[in-house]
A and B are shown apart, each in its own frame.
Chain A
């Protein structure tokens, strides 16, 4: 008898080598898994997994080291860019990236992210912006939208009391040390493909020694937004994109020739 396996012996879709064979702890409908996969696919395609060192943050992706199949270190809250700097400076031939959420990167780690960009540190940052603190249970983040309800802004973010969301990509694009800064979104297939392209360019920026690179990814958090996964994707498209416009904010001219 011919098995199904023998018939379909041509593999068209499989786990990238850069991902570990394990289940994640992420909630249903969370786009962290998509972001992980995109990073893993890019590292596989570039053939740099074996020289890559990842830096995990504190936040929902605190266990990123379990899901990626490569050397990893785990930073203190907000300090991933500093830790990545330490790794990269003593191992300049290796590829180094951080994977950080909005609380980690834009609140407690604001100084570190700005200065790593200012120094033009040859590292790549994957920045997951879901406008909320996920791990601690849905508190207001530096990227929470005005009027958005969280457990620490129960009546909706009042800009009079707690200010406005921070646009990290726009701010970092002003840094001379930045080689590539882009914001993508994970709310549909089209945007996911674009996001992957941005991630590829970011790692290419690092491999070419063109300075700091970051891709901000608008991401969903149905659990803490208290809506369904599908509604969460709509929320990104309808509510987040107008506040956090998509696109490339800084591209080193040398990257223009790049075809990815």
Chain B
């Protein structure tokens, strides 16, 4: 099947919902079917916030999945919650800056990205979500980095537009980090 499901999860305020929307915009702009569905309500205000994005070549039925193809986890509660739900041979992207344990599963592909440290190097710790998104794009190239950058520049809220170059750098750094880590392994 040509359907890819992605869960992005973290603390409220880490930008998980927005990075999911960026993916959704990129999918739409490139002629894909897509759904984006958030956790909502009290969770939005400080607790864990997550969203599910499904990208497909065909009309999408369920906007929710039990076992996603990809989980992007930005904090420890999210890893605890999603480590065992990711599909076998699926992808798990772990924010190593805030998660101090390694994963237990062996039948998935994973990477630890120090997203907050990388974001701080760029100069804006808020960018950790974009670092993670960049890393995900390398690990699961359902959309290219260029497509996502294009979507972000189209849909970033006006008040954040000045941060666009930093967002791009964050994504590129995340992508490069994942690429480097894997090339090292396969070299």
A and B touch in the complex (CB under 8 A): no
- Which B residues lie at the A interface, using CB under 8 A? none
- Which A residues lie at the B interface, using CB under 8 A? none
